[in-house]
Amino acid sequence: MNAKVAIVTGSGSGIGAATAEILARDGASVLVCDLDADSAASTAARIVSAGGAAMPFQMDVTDAQAHGRAVAEAERVYGGLDIAVNCAGISVGPSKLQHTVQDTELSDWQRILDINVNGVFYGLRAAVPMMIKRGGGSIVNVGSVMSVVARTKLSAYVTSKHAVLGLTKAAALDCAEHGIRVNAVGPGYVDTPLLHYKPAETRHAYAQLHPLGRLAKAGEVAELIAWLCSDKSSFTTGSFYAVDGGYSAV
């Protein structure tokens, strides 16, 4: 994948960081985008010290204009855009609590949908014109096993991740004639900072939801994303790939 240029949102941490590192390992130049400037800088520094090409870029995915600035930066620094991974996401809103649908705080609902759904839409909307100019590309949206199943007290998150799947299919149809592929991945529970606010016993209980009996590692999800970004998946679009240790097979 020499000379490919990638944008990865949420790549200061977890799955996004692992994805940025694997894309760079495979030869892409990566714009490491995150709300947290320090974590974006750390990921970019790790890539550069491993011999790869990366630049940190501070942005909020809920700001539609910021996505346009990221694409412009990718073009200015690396000459275009071939890969976009919309990974930034949150599982709980500002209250940090999980409630039934009737008790969900409006501010939690709005923040989760703003980041997890609008953030992906803005990313697609900004990336596609540059990829059309380039003659094609590959976009991966990070959904969840919650794109296809639900759990209690998680209505905003479940809704947001089901929406990511619908948006992925709709975008794949709109983009196919331009040679741009759009796919989604659905991780089970992954051992990242997203889960670190949970007590150890809760994380242990989450691990048991997967027939493989453990949480995923970020790199296991990132390898699938990298495959979908690569030319090896050239006939794959509008698809959803679970990487969930068998969770959704039960």
Ligand X SMILES: NC(=O)c1ccc[n+]([C@@H]2O[C@H](COP(=O)([O-])OP(=O)(O)OC[C@H]3O[C@@H](n4cnc5c(N)ncnc54)[C@H](O)[C@@H]3O)[C@@H](O)[C@H]2O)c1
CA angle at 169 for the pair 167 and 172, rounded to the nearest 5°: 105
- 248 alpha-carbon distance from chain centroid: 19
Q: How far apart are CA 49 and CA 46, in angstroms?
A: 5
Q: Nearer Cβ to ligand X, position 5 or 88?
A: 88
Q: Nearer Cβ to ligand X, position 136 or 239?
A: 239
Amino acid of residue 159: T
Q: Nearer Cβ to ligand X, position 60 or 75?
A: 60
> What's the burial of 189, exposed, middle or buried (CB within 10 Å: 0-12/13-18/19+)?
buried
Q: How far apart are CA 9 and CA 88, in angstroms?
A: 5
Crossing angle (nearest 10°) for helices 64-78 and 119-134: 30
> Quick check: is 241 catalytic?
no
Q: Nearer Cβ to ligand X, position 121 or 189?
A: 189
Q: Nearer Cβ to ligand X, position 134 or 184?
A: 184
Residues that bind ligand X (CB under 6 A): 9-10, 12-16, 34-36, 39, 59-62, 87-91, 115, 142, 144, 187, 189-190, 192-195
Closest distance of CB 65 from ligand X, Å: 13
Closest distance of CB 169 from ligand X, Å: 18
Q: How far apart are CA 143 and CA 49, in angstroms?
A: 30
Using the Cα atoms of residue 23, residue 27, residue 32 and residue 38 in order, give the sign of their dihedral.
positive
Closest distance of CB 107 from ligand X, Å: 14
Closest distance of CB 179 from ligand X, Å: 26
User: Catalytic one among 78, 157, 206, 241?
Assistant: 157
The Cα-based distances of 234 to 42, 51, 129, 180, 222 in angstroms read 32, 27, 20, 10, 18
The DSSP code sequence of 104-118 is --HHHHHHHHIIIII
Closest distance of CB 220 from ligand X, Å: 11
Which residues are identified as catalytic?
157
